[in-house]
Amino acid sequence: MSELRVGGLAILIGLNTYSEYNGRCVRLEASIGMGETYISPVTELEYKNFHSERRWVVSGDFLVNMREPGWTTVHPKHLLPIDGEDFSHEDGQQKELSHG
């Protein structure tokens, strides 16, 4: 199973608040810890994570923040990674480079 990573894609799952967004695809913009600052992917304004746990800044087709539609922060448990790209071909390329 793929993991959450910046630039990756995920599906929103298990949301209670804004449950209408369950099943929507989002792009993972940044992983932020408690107290860390981050930049809005829409307006480039700076914000601070006041949640007591790590969150992901995600962008997509949804309206959570009326002032800045198209992004929000989400707890990792509500994200199911979907870009299960197979990176096994990179091992072969690395071997070619080391034996070249």
Domain presence at residue 64: yes
Measuring CA to CA, which residue among 4, 17, 20 is closest to residue 76?
4
Residue numbers of the domain that contains 55: 9-99
Structural domain includes residue 74: yes
Q: What was the pLDDT predicted at 10? A: 96
Q: Measuring CA to CA, which residue among 65, 25, 74 is closest to residue 45?
A: 65
pLDDT of residue 96: 57
> In this predicted structure, what is the pLDDT of residue 64?
78
Task: Report pTM.
Answer: 0.76
What pLDDT shows up at residue 47? 93
Q: Does 1 fall in a domain?
A: no
| Structural domain count of the chain | 1
Q: How far apart are CA 23 and CA 8, in angstroms?
A: 16
If DSSP codes are grouped into helix, strand and coil, which group holds residue 89?
helix
